[in-house]
Structure 1
Amino acid sequence: MRGVAEQALLQREWSETAELRAPGFERDRERVVQARAFRRLAGKTQVFTSRESDHFRSRLTHTIEVVQIAREVARCLGLNEELVETLALVHDIGHPPFGHAGERALDQCLRKHGLRFDHNLHALRIVEHFEDWYAAHRGLNLTLGVREGIVKHSRDYSAIDYPALQPYFLNQRPPLEAQLIDLADEIAYLTADLDDGVESGLLEIEHICANIGIMGRAYEKVQEIHPGVSQKFHFHEALQLMQSELTCDLIENTAANVMQHRLRSLDDVRNCPERVATFSPAMEAQRQEEKAYLYGKLYTCDFLEAEHSKAEHVVTTLFQFYMQDPSRMPAGYIEESAVDGLPRTVADYIAGMTDNYILQQFWIASKLRR
């Protein structure tokens, strides 16, 4: 299905007369990688902050891992690899500092003003508005295919609730290239978060293997192949085996779905009654088991809950500070507030911060509030 209806997906909001060095989705990829918001991912929390160890994943290193998995899936399914790579690179660009704790805090702040924070929609605002480098237009002028994928790769939006998103085919399924990104993301973090959890000392290898079926079986296979080596090597090999099993299942089951629904065009994919990129039922059950384990034993453990509380306090305090004194924001944001309103503009400013920068601003705000 490679290249299906690609011309429609290649449309840009602003016409560009010259094809520069890279065409189509390749040009989008270059623009995403060169964006400031992309570079800031290096300073944003995935699960653990860089203050605890240099070895933990950041949003940027997580993104690179998602790219590797997504490209493998796309290659095996004969999809457009350049579109898939671009979507993988941009999929987390809208995340605020402190990971999901920061997102929850911003959302709670905005709810009080009748608004919401959604990192997918914020990512769209970034690429359409905040990355301002070109003389002819604001934003990166990305193709329709990439912008649609930013919006719809992980969830569907109602045209009634989100009328501004109507150009992104809200009543239809996204292309397969977009559908697979969310599952490549899941494969990446299910593997990486176990790794970082053990590195942190919060998870134990024996407990993981006893409670996550897919990891237990992978670990036993590795022990048989490499007897007598250190536990850390068994664990790392088992993680790679688990990732491979998840990836292969996604490829095989998605290919089977394409055959079952007789999908031959992008229109067929768009009008399919369900998403086509899925795990098999058996693998989905294993994925849910591991996800439940991570939520119960890692994401909500006492140490990380304390970190989340600190993060939410920092975000909430700083949001209130800028609401009370907008002049403390850069001049450009003050100008934006006249158009988008102060609450949305404050959220935009905070969402763009790295972990270290928001802590610096929190310290400044705390000194001024005394």
Structure 2
Amino acid sequence: MSVGMAAPRSVYACDPERSRGRLLAEPPSKTRSPFRRDCDRVIHSTAFRRLKYKTQVFVFHEGDHYRTRLTHTLEVAQIARALARQLGLDEDLTETLALAHDLGHPPFGHAGERALDSCLQAHGGFDHNAQTLRVVTLLEHRYPGFDGLNLTWESLEGIVKHNGPLTERNGAAAGRYRGHGIPAGISEYVGTHDLELWSFASLEAQVAAIADDIAYDAHDIDDGLRAGLFRVDDLKVMPLTEEMIGEIARHYPELDDDRRGAELVRELISYLIGAVVSETRRRLDLARPESVDDVRNHREVLIAFSADVAQAEADIKSFLKLRMYRHPRVMRVMGEAEQILFDLFARYQRRPGDLPAEWLPPDGPDSETETDRARRIGNFIAGMTDRFALTEHQRLFDSTPDLR
């Protein structure tokens, strides 16, 4: 099959006509599949709109051309749809999972997640995947008959398990959760709505996960170049990008650095998409799944890079960690951002009346446990945009960092 042509629907793709349905039954749409309906609900959610002013790496007011959580999410969705089309998967479900994957992220990127996890350490910690599940099952208030978005089982499964199983078949925590257990937001939810945490998720969810990696690699290189944290030629320390930079020089010897960088990012995205399609087809040929349940019960992930490409991709992440995420300028701003969230959390705990009225317990402060109160404050802060967190800090404190 030539590149760019859509593959016919695969037998192992999720079929919207065979969806396991919604926790609360609803009449079917006359014009949209269940997965398309899920996707539209995500797009129209309040949490999705807030992504516009949530940090990716650079705080929103550092420049209009840097990625935010929203632009990152749209790039993930574009890459995920391209992969789904090549592999004969359901594009609507894939897009749903790509668009929803960061809904639970707090303000100020990973610095905000670290701060909230520390604040909530005695109450189960903070996990952005668990928070995304909380958003789509509880915190969105847009529909008259239910809280959340009442998404299909397949969408909820993909949100929770896109990075792989969370437990062993016997229920013991697995993978990155082995040391401290399943996040409370997930473990509590699956007590009433089983998402089969022991199995792999659908190929659509696996596609959304690897699309996230590809988007991160490409756009963080782009943003790092724009910010002047490194130059195009600095990327020659890695064999993959060195070869691409050499090819660009041969084809466009007079190109300026801005366009060299943009061309490198395009080449990298195309290369990684092609690498995923090639390796995935190889794995599918070996596994021969006949249904989505065969995918879920397979012993390993099926959407993947080959070993050599996985190493090249890991090298890019290592480069970015050293030259971008740990750059003194970025570290200083993110350290100040963490302190803003520490301050807000402590203030709301000490003086709950500073919370908006709709975030106060309806039966008064004595009606909830300390853990309930801490999680409620965590939910409020996690939903903030960068600029709202700054505004709140300015309202409640005498001095607020400028984050520049």
TM-score range, shorter chain: over 0.9
Match of 1:268 among 270, 275, 294: 294
2:201 alignment partner AA: P
2:216 alignment partner AA: Y
Q: TM-score, normalised by structure 1?
A: 0.95
Q: Which residue of 2 aligns with 1:283?
A: 309
Q: What is the RMSD of the two structures over their aligned residues, measured on CA atoms?
A: 1.8
CA contact (8 A) 2:115 2:338 kept: yes
Match of 2:82 among 52, 65, 72: 72
More displaced 10-residue stretch of structure 1: 130-139 or 94-103? 130-139
Q: Map 1:200-279; keep pairs closer than 5 Å.
A: 200-208=227-235, 210-279=236-305
Write the distance in 2 (CA, Å) between the matches of 1:20 and 1:67: 25
Asked if 1:354 is matched to 2:385, the reply is yes
C-alpha change, 1:73 and 1:217, in structure 2 (3 Å) is same
Q: Which residue of 2 aligns with 1:46?
A: 56
Cα shift at 1:6: 4.2
C-alpha change, 1:10 and 1:83, in structure 2 (3 Å) is farther
Match of 1:126 among 129, 132, 135: 135
Cα shift at 1:154: 2.3
Match of 1:293 among 316, 319, 322: 319
Q: Which residue of 2 aligns with 1:190?
A: 217
Write the distance in 2 (CA, Å) between the matches of 1:133 and 1:68: 27
CA contact (8 A) 2:106 2:384 kept: yes
- 1:108-151 Cα offsets, whole Å, 9 max, x none, are 0100x232101111011111111111111111111111111111
Write the distance in 2 (CA, Å) between the matches of 1:341 and 1:96: 19
More displaced 10-residue stretch of structure 1: 227-236 or 171-180? 227-236
- 1:19-73 Cα offsets, whole Å, 9 max, x none, are 2542311111111111010000000000111211110000000111001100000
Write the distance in 2 (CA, Å) between the matches of 1:195 and 1:238: 9
CA contact (8 A) 1:95 1:119 kept: yes
Match of 1:99 among 66, 88, 109: 109
Q: Which residue of 1 aligns with 2:352?
A: 326
More displaced 10-residue stretch of structure 1: 131-140 or 60-69? 131-140
Write the distance in 2 (CA, Å) between the matches of 1:325 and 1:20: 49
CA contact (8 A) 1:215 1:239 kept: no
1:353 alignment partner AA: M
Write the distance in 2 (CA, Å) between the matches of 1:94 and 1:75: 27
Unaligned runs of 5+ in 1: none
Write the distance in 2 (CA, Å) between the matches of 1:171 and 1:207: 42
CA contact (8 A) 2:112 2:337 kept: yes
Q: Which residue of 1 aligns with 2:201?
A: 174
- 1:186-240 Cα offsets, whole Å, 9 max, x none, are 10010000110010111111112x2122211111111111222223222211211
CA contact (8 A) 1:10 1:25 kept: no
Asked if 1:145 is matched to 2:154, the reply is yes
Match of 2:330 among 297, 304, 312: 304
1:227 alignment partner AA: P
Cα shift at 1:251: 1.0
1:30 alignment partner AA: D
Q: Which residue of 1 aligns with 2:66?
A: 56
CA contact (8 A) 2:137 2:148 kept: yes
CA contact (8 A) 2:232 2:260 kept: no
Q: Which residue of 1 aligns with 2:396?
A: 365
Q: Which residue of 1 aligns with 2:4?
A: none
Cα shift at 1:323: 0.6
Write the distance in 2 (CA, Å) between the matches of 1:101 and 1:68: 26
Write the distance in 2 (CA, Å) between the matches of 1:348 and 1:322: 12
Q: Which residue of 2 aligns with 1:314?
A: 340
- 1:144-187 Cα offsets, whole Å, 9 max, x none, are 11111111112432244444336111111101100121110010
Structure showing the higher helix proportion among its residues: 1
CA contact (8 A) 1:130 1:138 kept: yes
Q: Aligned residues: percent identity?
A: 36
Q: TM-score, normalised by structure 2?
A: 0.87
Cα shift at 1:312: 0.8
Count of residues in correspondence between the two structures: 367
